Amino acid sequence: MAAMQSARDDETKHHDQQVESAQGEVWPNAITETDAPEKGDVAQRTDRHGLVLIPQPSHFKDDPLNWPQWFKWVVLLQVSFLAFLGPFNSAVVNPALVPLTKLFHVPVTDGPYQTTTVIVAVGVAPLFWTPLANVYGRRPIYILSTLIGIAATIGSGAAKSWSTLLVARAFSGIGMGSAMSIGVATVNDIFFLHERGTKMGIWTVFLTNGPHVAPVIGGYLAQRAGVRWCYYLPAIITGAAFVVMIFCFPETLFSRSPENLAKHKERTYTQMLFNFRSNALLDRKLTLRSFIRPFEMLRYPSVTLTFVYYIVSFAFSSILPAVTVAILFTKIYHFDTGIIGLMLGLPLLVGSALGEFLSGPLSDWFVYRYAKTHGGHRKPEARLPAILASLLLCPAGIIIYGVCLQRKTHWMGPVAGMAISSFGLQLVTTVCYAYCSDCYKPQSGEIGSLYNFGRQVWAFPLGFYALPMANKITIEWAWITLALLMALTSLGVVVLMFKGEKWRVKLGQPQFHKDI
């Protein structure tokens, strides 16, 4: 911990001025997520551009905002990788659904059920994990949920009957779903507002690409080692991540209320790992209302309009290829399992990675540019212009994908369409998550659960209607219809650019978790 403090001092000494209260105990906590600094504020810490840091860190070394930058990256990469493992574990077997159904002697049409079982479980489970994480801390929930995920994934590989496999897959989704929701809150725990675009972008690119990397590995893995290894390998990788987490992932939940800071006793690194009851947890209680609070956030247009655009974009830009590529590319291009895995994974992976190079840093730049010209005031809506390219790219990519398949062009045509749509989706994902975190940072755990629930539930039925719809009106017109629906939902984000600030001020801030 001494090394952590030394690194922090070196990093911030050029602008770090500590001013204690009359009792010499706590930092001033004068500003909120969207407040501009007032002239009367004294000695507030600033970033390298001279803008006031939001939120203001305390003077305690175990405050996650005071951790050295290298250690924040260690935690960020763990959180991101855990978010990656959720969809990765569920999708490794996707290119091998035909041999899987043969192994269990069930109709091939039943194969997607094991994937949809995980999708539903991943969507619902965080509604329970998030309230627990807000009361008992992030770390114990990560530990418990990851253990459940490892055990259930091993059980999936060892299953002897189809019904046993489905039950194991449900528990795998329950376990691996936590990082896909509370990861948002964890990133916000350790980074300042001006860093969130880039750092949230890293988390979202891992989250988005879990199901993209999986089939690249899964197709050849099933061919060479057998379909059961599509479960055993993810369990082994998750187990390795769990071991690292035990020693390198301290608690990140930290209260910034003056009352709790006054009672806070600084913890050593060992205590941060094994003493879960931090200052943020002293007066927290779990209630029935805790489990419905994600849905309470829908009363805020900043959440609702981005939520609708995100879940529709995710379903049609990511899940639509996942549930159609294997069947359509086999029928039109006669590819085998391994090649299908590449066709499904690589264009989505490349498009998403390239999208992240633009989305996170660009959205942070928009916020910085606005703050420099408005007296240091950081308005969340200043981040939204970074999403504008997605309004064209996501629908265009889907249309290219469908038209090329319908007209049986070279396979590069639909692959290019998937990559373009995936590029746009990364803009949507990063900017929407970061924007909502700027608006309602204390409630970012609930927003993450809401996003996750909507994403999974909206995507769940896609496998049941996409191909039947294409068979009825052709692939070309089916995909054009879905693209137009996505374009329609994007209009809400455009409205937020002009009305978002007015609506936020009128509705005020939620009255729970205000100390985070």
| CATH number of the domain encompassing residue 125 | 1.20.1250.20
Domain membership flag for residue 516: no
Distance, in Å, from the CA atom of 416 to the CA atom of 400, rounded to the nearest integer, reads 8
Binned at pLDDT 50, 70 and 90, residue 282 comes out as: low
Tell me whether residue 150 is in a domain: yes
- Interval 392-411 mean pLDDT: 93
496 located within any domain: yes
Domain count, the chain: 1
Q: Work out the pLDDT band at 8, boundaries 50, 70, 90.
A: very low
pLDDT at 50: 67
For 421-456, how does the pLDDT look when each residue is reduced to its tens digit (9 = 90+)?
A: 999 998 999 899 989 988 998 888 899 889 989 988
Q: Tell me the residue range of the domain where 155 lies.
A: 64-281+290-507
83-101 core/surface letters (b: 16 or more CB in 10 A; e: else): bbbbbbbbbbbbbbbebbb
SS3 call for 52: strand
Burial class from Cβ neighbours inside 10 Å (0-12, 13-18, 19+) for residue 161 reads: exposed
pLDDT of res. 300: 95
**Which residues, 6+ apart, have CB-to-CB distance to 68 below 8 Å?**
3, 4, 7, 8, 11
Distance CA 325, CA 91 (A): 13
Tokens of 306: 């981005």
Higher-pLDDT residue of 367, 140: 140
Q: What digits encode the pLDDT tens for the residues 346-397? A: 888 888 888 877 777 888 888 878 888 887 787 889 999 989 999 999 999 9
73 lies in a domain?
yes
User: Of all residues in the chain, what percent carry a pLDDT higher than 90?
Assistant: 38
pTM comes to 0.79
181-236 per-position pLDDT tens digit: 888 889 988 988 788 778 888 888 888 888 888 888 887 888 889 899 999 999 99
Helix (H, G, I), strand (E, B) or coil at 19: coil
pLDDT higher than 50, residue 34: no
Tell me what the pLDDT averaged over the chain comes to.
Answer: 83
Does a structural domain hold residue 38? no
Give residue 279's pLDDT: 55
The type of residue at 428 is: V
| Residue 10 within a domain | no
Provide the β-strand partners of residue 46.
52
Helix/strand/coil for 46: strand
Residue 51 belongs to a domain = no
Q: How confident is the model at residue 32 (pLDDT cuts 50, 70, 90)?
A: very low
**pLDDT score at 218:** 85
Decide if pLDDT at 15 tops 50. Answer: no
Asked if residue 513 is part of any domain, the answer here is no
